[in-house]
């Protein structure tokens, strides 16, 4: 039988799931806000339908994190983190590619990178603590 998750793991799961749900909901209900604040020029506006697809993805991942939190075992948590960790790494790499290859990257994108650089060590630390 699996032991309960450590408090740090629960915090990482909860924060991750809430952030994903907040982004997902914003994309679902406020495409104008997304295209002016969260994804501003010089990037092209994201069509509303595409935002809904992204919202569905983020909400599904967020609910997956909440479900892993409710399961309160490492099997569910590590599955969730094994999906979100690489996803965040790919987003950081794409942001860096955009910074190198485009005429400019909005400041909000660097905020995303900063948040990712907080999240990724938290995932690694969680993994190390839970598997020790």
Distance CA 117, CA 121 (A): 7
Q: Containing H/E element for 127?
A: helix 107-131
Read out DSSP for 15-69?
HHHHHHHHHHHHHHH-HHHIIIIIS-TTSPPPPHHHHHHHHHHHHHHHHHHHHHH
pLDDT tens-place string over residues 17-61: 999 999 999 999 999 999 999 999 888 899 999 999 999 999 999
Distance CA 29, CA 63 (A): 18
pLDDT of residue 95: 85
Residue ranges of domains in the chain: 7-131
Cis (ω within 30 of 0) for the bond into 35? Answer: no
104 versus 82: the higher-pLDDT residue is: 82
pLDDT tens-place string over residues 57-86: 999 999 999 999 999 999 999 999 999 999
Distance CA 106, CA 110 (A): 7
Distance CA 70, CA 42 (A): 41
pTM: 0.89
Give yes or no for residue 103 having a pLDDT over 80: no
pLDDT of residue 1: 54
pLDDT of residue 8: 97
- Neighbouring residues of 86: CB distance < 8 A, sequence distance ≥ 6: none
């Amino acid at each position: 039988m699996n032991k309960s998750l450590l408090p740090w793991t629960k915090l990482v799961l909860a924060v991750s799931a809430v952030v994903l749900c907040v982004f997902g909901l914003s994309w679902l209900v406020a495409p104008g806000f997304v295209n002016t604040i969260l994804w501003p020029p010089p990037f092209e506006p994201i069509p509303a339908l595409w935002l809904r697809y992204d919202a569905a993805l983020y909400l599904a991942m967020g609910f997956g994190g909440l479900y892993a939190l409710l399961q309160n075992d490492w099997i569910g948590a590590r599955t969730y983190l094994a999906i979100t960790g690489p996803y965040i790494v790919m987003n950081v790499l794409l942001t860096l590619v955009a910074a190198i290859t485009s005429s400019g990257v909005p400041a909000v994108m660097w905020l995303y990178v900063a948040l990712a650089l907080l999240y990724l060590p938290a995932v690694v630390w969680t993994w190390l603590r839970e598997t020790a």
